[in-house]
Amino acid sequence: MIFTQIDDRLWIGPQPAEADVLAHRIGATVSLRRATPDPIAGIEQFHRPLSYWHEDFKRVDLDTLSALVDGLRARGLNVLVHCREGVDRSGVFAIAHLRSQLPTLDSALDRYRAIRASTPLPRFGGIELLRGWFN
C-alpha cells in the first residue's frame, strides 16, 4: 500500500494512481501540489497548493485545509491528502492533524514516526514551522 492511514477515514501519500485510489475506496482527494491533478471519475477532488516553505504561508492556511478535510470526513468520505512524494507537504499536514488530537507536538511526531517508520520526516523547515506554531 502506498498510502498511510493517519486517522479514521484519512490517508496521506504521494500523487495517486487511479487504481490505488479505487483500491483504498477513497471518496475525495486533496492535492497539495502546485500542479493540477488529473481527474478521477467518481472521486471528489480538491486542489489546495501548500508551500509551507514560502514566507507568506500562515497557520490559517493549514487550518483552512484541516477544516476542508474534516468536513469531507464528516460526510463519511475516505480522504486522501497527497503531494508529489507523500513526504513533505502531506507530512506537515499529517503531523498538524495528529497534533490537534495529542497533547504536544513531540507526541504527534512520535505517533507520526510510529505510523510511517520507513518515511522521513518533512524537510524544508516543516518541523521547525510546526514547532513555532505549536510550542
Per-residue pLDDT tens, the chain, 135 aa: give them. 589 999 999 999 999 999 999 999 999 999 999 888 888 999 999 999 988 777 777 888 889 999 999 999 999 999 999 999 999 999 999 999 999 999 999 999 999 999 999 999 999 888 998 998 887
Structural domain harbouring 87:
4-134
The CATH number linked to 62 is: 3.90.190.10
Q: How far is residue 133's CA from residue 125's CA, in Å, rounded to a whole number?
A: 13
Query: Long-range CB contacts (< 8 A, 24+ apart) of 37-46?
Result: 40/16, 44/72, 44/77
Q: Give pTM, 2 decimals.
A: 0.93
**How many domains does the chain contain in total?**
1
